[in-house]
Amino acid sequence: MEMEMEKSVQALASATLLSGTLPAEFIRPLAEQPTATTRHYGPVSMIPTVDLSETDQEKLVQAISEACGTWGTFQLVNHGIPPEAINRLQSVGREFFELSSPKEKEECSDKAPAGGSRSVGGYGRQVREDADGKKVWSDHLFHKIWPPSSINYQFWPKNPPSYREANEEYAVYLREASDKVLKLMSLGLGLEENALGEALGGEQLQYNLKINYYPPCPRPDLVLGLVAHRDLSAITVLVPNEVPGLQVLKDDQWIEVEYIPNSLIVHVGDQIEILSNGKYRSVLHRVTVKKDRLRMSWPVFLEPPAELVVGPLPQLINDQDPAKYKPQKFKDYMFSKLNKLPE
Ligand SMILES: O=C(O)CCC(=O)C(=O)O
Ligand SMILES: [Fe+2]
Protein backbone atom coordinates (compact mmCIF):
# COMPACT_ATOMS: atom_id res chain seq x y z
CA MET A 1 0.00 0.00 0.00
CA GLU A 2 1.39 3.39 -0.89
CA MET A 3 1.01 6.33 1.39
CA GLU A 4 -0.50 9.56 0.21
CA MET A 5 2.32 12.08 0.33
CA GLU A 6 1.74 15.07 2.52
CA LYS A 7 2.15 18.29 0.57
CA SER A 8 5.74 19.53 0.67
CA VAL A 9 6.64 22.76 2.44
CA GLN A 10 8.08 23.81 -0.91
CA ALA A 11 4.60 23.58 -2.48
CA LEU A 12 2.98 25.20 0.55
CA ALA A 13 5.47 28.07 0.40
CA SER A 14 4.42 28.92 -3.16
CA ALA A 15 0.75 28.82 -2.18
CA THR A 16 1.43 30.94 0.90
CA LEU A 17 3.24 33.57 -1.16
CA LEU A 18 0.14 33.89 -3.31
CA SER A 19 -2.40 34.00 -0.50
CA GLY A 20 -0.22 35.81 2.04
CA THR A 21 -1.58 33.65 4.88
CA LEU A 22 0.60 31.35 6.89
CA PRO A 23 -1.09 28.08 7.93
CA ALA A 24 -1.55 28.11 11.71
CA GLU A 25 0.21 24.79 12.26
CA PHE A 26 3.53 26.49 11.47
CA ILE A 27 3.24 29.29 14.02
CA ARG A 28 5.55 28.63 16.98
CA PRO A 29 4.64 29.48 20.56
CA LEU A 30 6.04 32.88 21.57
CA ALA A 31 8.86 31.37 23.63
CA GLU A 32 10.23 29.75 20.48
CA GLN A 33 9.72 32.56 17.97
CA PRO A 34 13.06 33.58 16.48
CA THR A 35 12.90 37.37 16.63
CA ALA A 36 11.98 37.34 20.30
CA THR A 37 14.85 35.03 21.22
CA THR A 38 17.91 35.66 19.03
CA ARG A 39 20.99 37.50 20.19
CA HIS A 40 22.90 39.39 17.51
CA TYR A 41 26.60 39.80 18.01
CA GLY A 42 27.25 41.82 14.88
CA PRO A 43 30.08 41.18 12.48
CA VAL A 44 32.32 39.20 14.83
CA SER A 45 31.96 35.46 14.52
CA MET A 46 31.45 33.91 17.92
CA ILE A 47 31.64 30.31 16.77
CA PRO A 48 35.16 28.90 17.16
CA THR A 49 37.13 28.22 13.97
CA VAL A 50 39.40 25.22 13.50
CA ASP A 51 41.98 25.54 10.71
CA LEU A 52 43.14 22.13 9.44
CA SER A 53 46.11 23.74 7.67
CA GLU A 54 47.62 24.66 11.06
CA THR A 55 50.99 22.89 11.16
CA ASP A 56 51.44 23.10 14.93
CA GLN A 57 49.65 19.89 15.91
CA GLU A 58 49.49 20.77 19.59
CA LYS A 59 47.76 24.05 18.82
CA LEU A 60 45.31 22.31 16.54
CA VAL A 61 44.42 19.67 19.13
CA GLN A 62 43.99 22.40 21.73
CA ALA A 63 41.69 24.41 19.45
CA ILE A 64 39.48 21.45 18.59
CA SER A 65 39.16 20.15 22.14
CA GLU A 66 38.32 23.58 23.46
CA ALA A 67 35.67 24.08 20.78
CA CYS A 68 34.14 20.65 21.48
CA GLY A 69 34.23 21.13 25.23
CA THR A 70 32.70 24.60 25.37
CA TRP A 71 30.54 25.07 22.28
CA GLY A 72 30.12 21.60 20.84
CA THR A 73 30.43 23.14 17.38
CA PHE A 74 33.00 24.87 15.19
CA GLN A 75 33.66 26.14 11.68
CA LEU A 76 36.18 23.92 9.90
CA VAL A 77 38.35 25.83 7.40
CA ASN A 78 41.11 24.62 5.06
CA HIS A 79 39.63 21.13 5.37
CA GLY A 80 41.04 19.94 2.04
CA ILE A 81 37.72 19.28 0.26
CA PRO A 82 37.94 21.06 -3.12
CA PRO A 83 35.34 23.83 -3.49
CA GLU A 84 34.35 22.33 -6.87
CA ALA A 85 33.33 19.06 -5.20
CA ILE A 86 31.21 20.99 -2.72
CA ASN A 87 29.67 23.07 -5.51
CA ARG A 88 28.73 19.93 -7.42
CA LEU A 89 27.13 18.38 -4.33
CA GLN A 90 25.12 21.57 -3.86
CA SER A 91 24.02 22.02 -7.44
CA VAL A 92 22.78 18.45 -7.96
CA GLY A 93 20.89 18.65 -4.65
CA ARG A 94 19.30 21.95 -5.55
CA GLU A 95 18.38 20.62 -9.01
CA PHE A 96 16.62 17.66 -7.41
CA PHE A 97 14.47 19.92 -5.26
CA GLU A 98 13.76 22.50 -7.95
CA LEU A 99 13.62 20.65 -11.23
CA SER A 100 12.14 17.27 -10.46
CA SER A 101 8.40 16.72 -10.49
CA PRO A 102 6.41 15.86 -7.35
CA LYS A 103 6.21 12.33 -8.76
CA GLU A 104 9.98 12.04 -9.15
CA LYS A 105 10.39 13.26 -5.59
CA GLU A 106 7.86 10.79 -4.33
CA GLU A 107 9.85 8.01 -5.99
CA CYS A 108 12.67 8.88 -3.57
CA SER A 109 10.43 8.67 -0.51
CA ASP A 110 10.05 5.78 1.90
CA LYS A 111 7.05 3.75 0.75
CA ALA A 112 6.84 1.63 3.91
CA PRO A 113 3.57 2.16 5.82
CA ALA A 114 3.84 4.58 8.73
CA GLY A 115 4.35 2.89 12.07
CA GLY A 116 5.79 -0.22 10.42
CA SER A 117 9.41 -0.61 9.50
CA ARG A 118 9.51 2.96 8.31
CA SER A 119 13.10 4.16 8.34
CA VAL A 120 14.38 7.72 8.44
CA GLY A 121 15.23 7.61 4.76
CA GLY A 122 14.30 9.33 1.52
CA TYR A 123 12.42 12.46 0.56
CA GLY A 124 9.77 14.04 2.75
CA ARG A 125 8.84 16.20 5.68
CA GLN A 126 9.63 15.58 9.30
CA VAL A 127 7.64 12.44 10.15
CA ARG A 128 6.77 13.38 13.69
CA GLU A 129 5.07 16.60 14.62
CA ASP A 130 6.15 18.36 17.79
CA ALA A 131 4.24 17.54 20.94
CA ASP A 132 2.12 20.64 20.38
CA GLY A 133 1.26 19.58 16.81
CA LYS A 134 3.36 22.33 15.20
CA LYS A 135 5.24 21.81 11.96
CA VAL A 136 8.63 22.92 10.73
CA TRP A 137 9.26 25.03 7.63
CA SER A 138 11.43 22.56 5.68
CA ASP A 139 11.56 19.52 3.43
CA HIS A 140 14.41 17.03 3.32
CA LEU A 141 16.06 14.15 1.55
CA PHE A 142 17.96 11.53 3.57
CA HIS A 143 20.27 8.81 2.28
CA LYS A 144 23.48 7.01 3.18
CA ILE A 145 26.64 7.84 1.23
CA TRP A 146 29.11 5.43 2.93
CA PRO A 147 29.97 2.57 3.34
CA PRO A 148 28.79 1.31 -0.06
CA SER A 149 27.19 -1.79 1.51
CA SER A 150 24.86 0.44 3.57
CA ILE A 151 23.53 2.44 0.63
CA ASN A 152 19.94 2.08 -0.51
CA TYR A 153 19.94 3.65 -3.98
CA GLN A 154 16.15 3.77 -3.97
CA PHE A 155 16.51 7.02 -2.02
CA TRP A 156 19.03 8.55 -4.42
CA PRO A 157 17.53 10.83 -7.09
CA LYS A 158 17.84 9.59 -10.68
CA ASN A 159 17.72 13.20 -11.81
CA PRO A 160 19.91 15.06 -12.44
CA PRO A 161 21.89 12.15 -13.92
CA SER A 162 25.12 13.44 -12.31
CA TYR A 163 23.55 13.20 -8.83
CA ARG A 164 25.24 9.90 -8.08
CA GLU A 165 28.71 10.87 -9.24
CA ALA A 166 28.67 14.15 -7.31
CA ASN A 167 27.59 12.43 -4.10
CA GLU A 168 30.11 9.60 -4.45
CA GLU A 169 32.87 12.10 -5.07
CA TYR A 170 31.91 14.14 -2.00
CA ALA A 171 31.80 10.99 0.17
CA VAL A 172 35.43 10.21 -0.62
CA TYR A 173 36.64 13.69 0.30
CA LEU A 174 34.43 13.94 3.35
CA ARG A 175 35.81 10.71 4.78
CA GLU A 176 39.35 12.09 4.63
CA ALA A 177 38.40 15.34 6.34
CA SER A 178 36.23 13.76 9.02
CA ASP A 179 38.91 11.16 9.73
CA LYS A 180 41.27 13.99 10.58
CA VAL A 181 38.67 15.61 12.80
CA LEU A 182 37.99 12.39 14.74
CA LYS A 183 41.73 11.87 15.24
CA LEU A 184 42.23 15.38 16.59
CA MET A 185 39.21 14.96 18.83
CA SER A 186 40.69 11.71 20.19
CA LEU A 187 44.03 13.37 20.88
CA GLY A 188 42.18 16.22 22.59
CA LEU A 189 40.79 13.71 25.08
CA GLY A 190 44.31 12.46 25.80
CA LEU A 191 43.63 9.26 23.85
CA GLU A 192 45.41 7.47 21.06
CA GLU A 193 44.40 9.00 17.70
CA ASN A 194 42.23 6.09 16.53
CA ALA A 195 40.31 5.77 19.80
CA LEU A 196 37.09 7.53 18.78
CA GLY A 197 37.05 6.13 15.24
CA GLU A 198 37.40 2.58 16.53
CA ALA A 199 34.82 3.07 19.29
CA LEU A 200 32.40 4.17 16.54
CA GLY A 201 32.80 1.03 14.49
CA GLY A 202 35.97 1.76 12.47
CA GLU A 203 35.32 0.91 8.83
CA GLN A 204 31.64 0.35 9.67
CA LEU A 205 31.06 4.01 10.56
CA GLN A 206 27.98 5.16 8.61
CA TYR A 207 27.76 8.42 6.67
CA ASN A 208 24.17 9.55 6.45
CA LEU A 209 23.54 12.58 4.21
CA LYS A 210 20.56 14.87 4.66
CA ILE A 211 19.62 17.73 2.38
CA ASN A 212 17.51 20.38 4.09
CA TYR A 213 15.37 22.68 1.95
CA TYR A 214 13.99 25.76 3.72
CA PRO A 215 11.84 27.80 1.30
CA PRO A 216 11.42 31.56 1.77
CA CYS A 217 8.62 32.28 4.24
CA PRO A 218 6.35 35.37 4.45
CA ARG A 219 6.57 35.35 8.26
CA PRO A 220 10.08 34.21 9.24
CA ASP A 221 9.49 35.78 12.65
CA LEU A 222 6.86 33.16 13.51
CA VAL A 223 8.26 29.85 12.22
CA LEU A 224 11.26 27.59 12.58
CA GLY A 225 13.00 25.60 9.84
CA LEU A 226 13.98 23.05 12.46
CA VAL A 227 13.17 23.17 16.17
CA ALA A 228 15.87 23.07 18.82
CA HIS A 229 17.55 19.67 18.94
CA ARG A 230 20.82 17.83 19.42
CA ASP A 231 22.02 15.48 16.68
CA LEU A 232 22.05 11.83 17.67
CA SER A 233 25.12 11.27 15.49
CA ALA A 234 28.74 11.01 16.64
CA ILE A 235 29.60 14.16 14.72
CA THR A 236 27.77 16.04 11.99
CA VAL A 237 29.67 17.74 9.17
CA LEU A 238 27.51 20.29 7.38
CA VAL A 239 27.78 22.23 4.14
CA PRO A 240 25.62 25.37 4.29
CA ASN A 241 24.56 27.54 1.39
CA GLU A 242 25.21 31.30 1.64
CA VAL A 243 21.96 32.03 3.49
CA PRO A 244 22.43 32.01 7.29
CA GLY A 245 19.77 30.57 9.58
CA LEU A 246 21.52 28.04 11.80
CA GLN A 247 21.65 29.08 15.46
CA VAL A 248 23.34 27.42 18.42
CA LEU A 249 22.53 27.83 22.09
CA LYS A 250 25.41 29.14 24.20
CA ASP A 251 24.99 30.38 27.75
CA ASP A 252 21.21 30.45 27.28
CA GLN A 253 21.42 32.63 24.17
CA TRP A 254 20.67 31.73 20.57
CA ILE A 255 23.70 32.72 18.48
CA GLU A 256 23.65 32.93 14.67
CA VAL A 257 26.25 30.83 12.90
CA GLU A 258 27.90 33.09 10.37
CA TYR A 259 28.39 31.98 6.76
CA ILE A 260 32.07 31.60 5.90
CA PRO A 261 32.63 30.67 2.24
CA ASN A 262 34.12 27.17 1.85
CA SER A 263 33.85 26.41 5.53
CA LEU A 264 32.15 23.31 6.93
CA ILE A 265 30.21 23.40 10.17
CA VAL A 266 30.97 20.54 12.56
CA HIS A 267 28.63 19.59 15.40
CA VAL A 268 29.45 17.30 18.27
CA GLY A 269 26.53 14.86 18.43
CA ASP A 270 25.20 12.69 21.26
CA GLN A 271 27.46 9.66 20.61
CA ILE A 272 30.67 11.64 21.07
CA GLU A 273 29.26 13.31 24.18
CA ILE A 274 28.63 9.81 25.55
CA LEU A 275 32.01 8.33 24.51
CA SER A 276 33.83 11.33 26.00
CA ASN A 277 31.76 11.00 29.19
CA GLY A 278 30.55 14.56 28.78
CA LYS A 279 33.92 16.25 28.07
CA TYR A 280 32.67 17.12 24.60
CA ARG A 281 29.15 18.55 24.41
CA SER A 282 26.42 17.70 21.93
CA VAL A 283 25.34 21.15 20.75
CA LEU A 284 21.73 22.34 20.94
CA HIS A 285 20.81 24.05 17.67
CA ARG A 286 17.84 25.19 15.59
CA VAL A 287 17.20 26.77 12.19
CA THR A 288 15.44 30.02 11.31
CA VAL A 289 14.25 30.93 7.82
CA LYS A 290 14.23 34.05 5.65
CA LYS A 291 11.53 36.06 3.94
CA ASP A 292 13.03 36.18 0.45
CA ARG A 293 15.89 33.74 0.48
CA LEU A 294 16.19 29.99 0.22
CA ARG A 295 18.38 28.24 2.77
CA MET A 296 19.71 24.81 1.99
CA SER A 297 22.12 22.69 3.99
CA TRP A 298 23.86 19.34 3.50
CA PRO A 299 24.66 17.81 6.89
CA VAL A 300 26.28 14.38 6.97
CA PHE A 301 25.63 12.48 10.20
CA LEU A 302 28.48 10.12 11.11
CA GLU A 303 26.84 7.30 13.03
CA PRO A 304 27.95 3.99 14.54
CA PRO A 305 26.39 0.80 13.12
CA ALA A 306 23.00 0.02 14.69
CA GLU A 307 24.16 -2.94 16.80
CA LEU A 308 27.24 -1.27 18.25
CA VAL A 309 27.15 -0.58 21.99
CA VAL A 310 28.21 3.00 22.78
CA GLY A 311 29.13 4.06 26.31
CA PRO A 312 31.75 6.20 28.05
CA LEU A 313 35.27 5.09 27.03
CA PRO A 314 36.83 3.08 29.90
CA GLN A 315 40.05 5.16 29.61
CA LEU A 316 38.04 8.24 30.60
CA ILE A 317 36.29 6.96 33.69
CA ASN A 318 37.69 6.55 37.19
CA ASP A 319 36.70 7.19 40.80
CA GLN A 320 36.81 10.97 40.43
CA ASP A 321 35.08 10.86 37.08
CA PRO A 322 32.45 8.10 37.12
CA ALA A 323 30.45 7.16 34.02
CA LYS A 324 27.63 9.64 33.38
CA TYR A 325 25.88 7.68 30.62
CA LYS A 326 24.68 4.11 30.36
CA PRO A 327 26.15 2.02 27.53
CA GLN A 328 23.58 0.95 24.95
CA LYS A 329 23.23 -0.14 21.36
CA PHE A 330 23.06 2.79 18.98
CA LYS A 331 19.75 1.52 17.59
CA ASP A 332 18.20 1.50 21.08
CA TYR A 333 19.47 5.01 21.77
CA MET A 334 18.00 6.16 18.47
CA PHE A 335 14.65 4.47 19.14
CA SER A 336 14.31 6.07 22.59
CA LYS A 337 15.23 9.49 21.28
CA LEU A 338 12.98 9.42 18.22
CA ASN A 339 10.09 8.23 20.36
CA LYS A 340 10.96 10.64 23.16
CA LEU A 341 11.38 7.84 25.71
CA PRO A 342 13.80 8.37 28.60
CA GLU A 343 17.35 7.75 27.33
O1 LIG B 1 20.32 23.65 8.26
C2 LIG B 1 21.13 23.62 9.17
O3 LIG B 1 22.09 24.37 9.23
C4 LIG B 1 21.01 22.64 10.31
C5 LIG B 1 20.40 21.32 9.96
C6 LIG B 1 20.25 20.42 11.16
O7 LIG B 1 20.46 20.79 12.27
C8 LIG B 1 19.82 19.02 10.97
O9 LIG B 1 19.41 18.67 9.85
O10 LIG B 1 19.91 18.25 11.94
FE1 LIG C 1 20.85 19.10 13.58
Tens digit of each residue's pLDDT (9 = 90 or more) over 128-187? 666 677 899 999 999 999 999 999 999 999 999 999 999 999 999 999 999 999 999 999
**Separation between Cα atoms, residue 123 and residue 141, nearest integer Å:** 4
**Does residue 40 have a pLDDT over 80?**
no
pLDDT attached to residue 258: 93
Residue of 9, 137, 143, 226 to mutate, ligand 1, most atoms within 8 A of C-beta: 226
What is the sign, positive or negative, of the torsion defined by CA atoms of 51, 57, 60, 64?
Answer: positive
> What is the atom index within ligand 1 of the atom nearest the CA of 297?
1
In this predicted model, what pLDDT tens digit does every residue of 95-143 receive, in sequence order?
999 988 888 998 898 876 554 444 568 898 776 666 677 899 999 999 9
**Does residue 45 have a pLDDT over 60?**
no
CB-CB neighbours of 90 under 10 Å: 19
pLDDT attached to residue 129: 60
Average pLDDT over residues 263-287: 98
Q: Which among 210, 250, 329, 337 is annotated as catalytic?
A: 210
Q: Are 291 and 223 in contact (CB under 8 A)?
A: no
Higher pLDDT, 211 or 43: 211
pLDDT band per the 50, 70, 90 thresholds, residue 252? confident
- Ligand having the closest approach to the CA of 208: 1
Contacts of 302 (CB under 8 A, 6+ apart): 178, 182, 200, 205, 206, 207, 208, 233, 234, 235, 236, 237, 269
Measured in angstroms, how far is the CA atom of residue 162 from the centroid of ligand 2? 27
Say yes or no: CB of residue 238 within 6 Å of ligand 1: yes
Task: Please name which of 94, 90, 207, 89 lies closest in space to residue 151, comparing C-alpha atoms.
Answer: 207
Task: Please name which of 89, 25, 21 lies closest in space to residue 262, comparing C-alpha atoms.
Answer: 89
Average pLDDT over residues 7-20: 82
24 half-sphere exposure, CB direction, 13 A CA radius: 2
> What is the atom index within ligand 1 of the atom nearest the CA of 296?
1
